[in-house]
A and B are shown apart, each in its own frame.
Chain A
Amino acid sequence: MEHVERLLSDYLDGELSHEAARQVAAHLTECLACARRFRSLRRTVRFIQSNGRVPIEPGSAAGAMARFNQALMQPGASEADVQRVLAEEGWRFLPDDAAGEAE
């Protein structure tokens, strides 16, 4: 069956016609690579759907972690930005020598 990979999201969400779904299901029992891709997709989608609705309070530790990630991953951000977030979030629980190393 051609291009099964592109149909996997539709298949997962029950968006395919009965016949198309039947063909995909049959293919997944025969093709190890597609079966693996499907399992990976299904696991990821379940994870996203269950964790994607959790609220993040801006002042919380999770919010601090998000700002830290932003300083790391945002294009144009520098090591100085990372250090600034570490300082601002008062990661005071870092042992003194580790804080010194970070600076």
Chain B
Amino acid sequence: MEGAVDLLQRAKAGDPDAFAALVEENRGSLLRLCYKMTGSQEDAEDLVQETLLRALRGIAGFELRSSLATWLHRIATNLCLDHQRRRPPWREERRWQWFAEHADLLGQVEQGLFLSPEAAFEIKEVAATCLNCLQMTLPAKQRAALILCDQLGFSRAEAAQIIGCSVPSAKTELHRARTKMAAIYDRRCALVDRDNECNACIVSGAAQRRQRERPAGERG
């Protein structure tokens, strides 16, 4: 297996296979970043493609001063921040309002969605989806800090490099993001307070348990 340094040399010389091998292990993380930043699978795929195109064009000038992962995620984050600049954050209120207006529907949708044979929902998937959607209500830079540090495992220093700001600035964005998310969960999530209105995870968990407890012949 070729060393990273050799691959880099070949990639800088214009070898597309060496470039592909070099970026391969970052592809999943880049896709997760772009999906979590935009809330759209299509946009995420486009942005990752654009990221790799720009990286290919820029690889000649890349030195191992920063890590390859940081460099790639910086390109992607800049593209996502640009993408989001023209799009305001999602609005929370509409979601709660809709479900309040369609309260009966909500109960049926949750039962059906979580009980249907195709669903195979785990609570973790519900919680993960919920997180992705709720963090779309954050300003883009706060969202980026939250994703990079708490979901993709970058350090604060790396996140600052990726976002293109100072470390204290990155720490502030991270703390603001976490605080806003805490306020939403405290107000809305029934896992936090049983009286809160959103109990999607609880319904899902109960439905999964009932599915498992059914005799094998009866399950969807």
Interface size class of A (residues with CB under 8 A): 35 or more
B21 close to A (CB within 8 Å): no
For A40, A43, A52, A94, the residue with the greatest tally of chain B CB atoms inside 10 Å of its CB is A52
**A66 vs B49: C-alpha distance when bound (angstroms):** 22
**A58 vs B104: C-alpha distance when bound (angstroms):** 27
B82 close to A (CB within 8 Å): no
Do the beta carbons of A72 and B192 come within 8 Å of each other?
A: no
With contacts A70-B39, A73-B91 known, is A65 near B126, CB below 8 A? yes
Do the beta carbons of B90 and A49 come within 8 Å of each other?
A: no
Tell which of B88, B95, B102, B146 touches A48, judged by Cβ atoms closer than 8 Å.
Answer: B146
Cβ contacts under 8 Å, B98 to chain A = 72, 82
Do the beta carbons of A49 and B150 come within 8 Å of each other?
A: yes
B202 close to A (CB within 8 Å): no
Interface residues of B (CB under 8 A from A): 32, 35, 39-41, 87-92, 94-95, 98, 102, 104-105, 108-109, 112-113, 115-116, 118-121, 124-129, 131-133, 136-137, 146-147, 150-151, 156, 171-172, 174-175, 178-179, 181-182, 185-186, 192
Q: List 16 A-B contacts (CB under 8 A).
A: A9-B178, A41-B182, A45-B150, A47-B185, A48-B146, A48-B151, A48-B181, A49-B151, A52-B147, A54-B125, A55-B32, A63-B41, A65-B113, A73-B91, A94-B105, A98-B105
